[in-house]
Structure 1
């Protein structure tokens, strides 16, 4: 197994978990929150998808699926297209009212683009600096692994919330 195949497997596991959490849920359940400061399943899935879309598009030098494929309009959220959910308030979280079809549709579109990009990743490319705003600067390898970690953490939170609500 090479690096590209390993990364594709890891991102495939995220997709499996996203589907397992979202499939079959109605909009009311997706938007439910155990209290006014908690995140909803819809917000968690939207946010992890935004992070994956934003970070991989930046690293890969391509336009985000959100804008390139019309998902910004299809989702109809009141946020700027550059918004990934980082730093959102409770009021922002409450505004993420999406259906399972919207969440899965956007995630799957991002996943397809992610896999296309990951097929081009080589061992040598993992050391390329993709973000100089941090000390030390972030390499492609670190960015790809950090997105995996972030996405799995958030989908795990969504799975816990699904169990809590059922």
Structure 2
């Protein structure tokens, strides 16, 4: 019988797999592509990792890998270390440039940390309220599904841009 933890690990592992597919053989020009002046593939992948890193760290009660493991320094972006991409202008999103290797390594580190945390989840944990700033308050289950949905949506956008380029 599949446990909730295993189901969540499978869901989040699909994020890892989709990101790897988008990054497979990508060029610097493809990473920088932002059709119609919208978000680039690099920004979409960075944002995918940042959202997962920040939100999993919050519910797990640990520091984000972005700061704890020096990813902010390695990316050297002109934003505050707390930036995840949420609410950024197109001018700001255009400033996210990174190599495929750097993006892949950060995405993998985030996926590994998420997997470690998700392995500890019990069914009872899923009903825990993790954010009372919403009505109704947000449970851990709702937050995890929200993270995965956001990440998969952005990975789909990145894959679509890659497909347009080919």
TM-score above 0.5 = yes
Task: State how far apart, in whole Å, the 1-side matches of 2:98 and 2:65 are.
Answer: 17
State the alpha-carbon separation in 1 of the partners of residues 24 and 100 from structure 2. 6
**Superposition map of 1:64-83 within 5 A:** 64-83=64-83
Query: 1:23 matched to which residue of 2?
Result: 24
Checking the alignment, whether the CA contact within 8 Å between 1:27 and 1:97 is kept in structure 2 is no
CA separation in 1, counterparts of 2:101 and 2:87? Answer: 26
CA distance in 2, matches of 1:131, 1:56: 13
Q: CA deviation at 1:66?
A: 0.5
Q: Give the superposed CA RMSD.
A: 0.8
Distance (whole Å) between structure 1 residues aligned to residue 135 and residue 81 of structure 2: 27
Q: Distance in 2 between matches of 1:74 and 1:117?
A: 24
Structure 2 residue matching 1:159: 3-state secondary structure: helix
Tell me the matched-pair count. Answer: 165
SS, match of residue 39 in structure 1: coil
Q: How does 1:29-68 map to 2 (within 5 A)?
A: 29-36=30-37, 38-68=38-68
Is 1:6 paired with 2:35? no
TM-score normalised to structure 2 length: 0.97
Q: Which runs of 5+ in 1 are unaligned?
A: none
Please give the alpha-carbon distance, in whole angstroms, between the structure 1 residues aligned to 2:74 and 2:165.
27
Q: Which residues of 2 match residues 1-166 of structure 1 at below 5 A?
A: 1-36=2-37, 38-166=38-166
Q: Secondary structure at the match of 1:148?
A: helix
